[in-house]
A and B are shown apart, each in its own frame.
Chain A
Amino acid sequence: SQQGEEDPQALSIQEGENATMNCSYKTSINNLQWYRQNSGRGLVHLILIRSNEREKHSGRLRVTLDTSKKSSSLLITASRAADTASYFCATDAGSNYQLIWGAGTKLIIKP
């Protein structure tokens, strides 16, 4: 079962703008991860943030984690057409550290 919820379900912005996606979860976690998927094939890991971290950066990506609200956000700055993809969050809230996935946000960057 999936415990994560992501919003928005879909997001369409102009190239160069910033894109923000949110993920909420229900139970306590050790870490939360964000992944990108192009063309409906394998997902690619973007960033992992631990429960004792509040913010993490990787290039144009910025992830925040608020454990009190059980939510995380992924910010992509200065978006590019190549950022068009689906983005998923995953938490390790399952038994035996199983990853639990959100439903994903479809991001479209318009040139």
Chain B
Amino acid sequence: GAGVSQSPSNKVTEKGKDVELRCDPISGHTALYWYRQSLGQGLEFLIYFQGNSAPDKSGLPSDRFSAERTGGSVSTLTIQRTQQEDSAVYLCASSLTGNTEAFFGQGTRLTVV
């Protein structure tokens, strides 16, 4: 595709349910980032995938959060047993290497009710 694609664009879920957020990066990009952003706030780093290296998961806020990147391409961020404080916009970005221009998707707005 022409850019980074995220789905769904909006998700409303009940507290306690699990959700999966998907990111399709730009083909050939080895680096993939997940961020979380609350209204009016900065980017909160969640996880970083770079090629075949072990992902940097240091930003995941709890063990309810996990992410995988299959075949070095599509990535899925899973939040188990969602809580209201998980409500935010989840942004995915990819870049050719880790420190070149990052291309962002439009994000998934998650609302936990």
Contacts and interface: CB of A to CB of B under 8 A. Distances in A.
B50 interface: yes
Contacts of A43: 43, 91, 93, 102, 104
Contacts of B50: 96-98
A99 interface: yes
Interface of B: 4, 31, 33, 37, 39-40, 42-43, 45, 48, 50, 53, 56, 58-59, 89, 91, 93, 95, 97-107
Interface in A68-87: none
Nearest to B105: A42
Contacts of A48: 100-101
Contacts of A2: 42-43, 45
The main secondary structure of chain B at its interface with chain A is loop
Contacts of A95: 56
Interface of A: 1-2, 30-31, 33, 35, 40-45, 48, 88, 90, 92, 94-104, 106
B29 to A, nearest CB: 13
B92 to A, nearest CB: 9
B5 to A, nearest CB: 11
A40 B104 contact: no
B98 A99 contact: yes
Contacts, number: 77
A29 B58 CA distance: 20
Contacts of A99: 33, 95, 98-99, 102
A99 to B, nearest CB: 6
Given A1-B59, A42-B105, A42-B106, 9 more contacts: A2-B45, A30-B99, A33-B101, A44-B104, A45-B102, A94-B56, A96-B48, A96-B53, A96-B98
Contact of A40 (B4, B37, B98, B102): B37
A64 B106 CA distance: 29
Nearest to B100: A48
Contact of B98 (A35, A92, A104): A92
B99 A31 contact: yes
Contacts of B56: 94-96, 98
